[in-house]
A = this chain, B = another copy of it.
């Protein structure tokens, strides 16, 4: 018995995400993922219960990494505006470094399979981020609206605009994202 080779699990993760970008949910399959990952299809069943379980775990993994990245460098005592901009910048950096995560996340989060999954672990992860916006509301710096809504007004535009750029290389060429962040801020500020 060999010890579990974590390189294989990673290879499966990566292959899944990359393939999903290329061919989409409609055309992906375990055997294609296996081939792309350089393992046997049966090997996938050592690491995951089944196809659904695999997708969920890949999704959770990416979400966790993203949540982690967005929180980076946040200080509880920093002014809200600074924190919000930091979050936006973190998000942009993260998806800049992992372009493939973008489309994967979009495709996943809209699939009923993933939508039905409410992971407490994930919610927990994003709580510190929400706290920033809650703080802003309490301090009357931000509009009196649910924190999730306020955060959405930062998260969604950035994601979508970045996606647009990925899809058609020449759209929003030379766009200054600091201006985008400011739009987000204008949207939510009181």
Contacts and interface: CB of A to CB of B under 8 A. Distances in A.
A185 to B, nearest CB: 8
B164 A115 contact: no
Interface stretch (A4-12, A58-66, A86-94, A141-149): A141-149
Contact of A187 (B21, B148, B168, B186): B186
Interface stretch (A68-76, A77-85, A103-111, A129-137): A103-111
Nearest to A179: B145
Interface in A171-190: 171-172, 175, 179-180, 183-184, 186-189
Contact of A152 (B143, B161, B188): B161
A33 to B, nearest CB: 12
Contacts of A143: 179, 183
Contacts of A107: 25, 107, 110-111
Given A112-B23, A160-B156, A149 B172 contact: yes
A157 interface: yes
Nearest to A164: B152
A112 B156 contact: no
A132 to B, nearest CB: 17
A122 interface: no
A115 B24 CA distance: 10
23 contacts: A21-B112, A24-B25, A24-B111, A24-B112, A25-B111, A107-B107, A110-B163, A115-B167, A118-B168, A143-B179, A146-B175, A148-B171, A148-B172, A149-B172, A149-B180, A152-B164, A153-B157, A157-B157, A157-B187, A183-B187, A184-B187, A186-B186, A187-B187
Given A153-B157, A183-B188, 12 more contacts: A22-B112, A26-B26, A103-B112, A110-B110, A110-B163, A115-B167, A146-B175, A148-B164, A152-B157, A156-B156, A156-B160, A187-B187
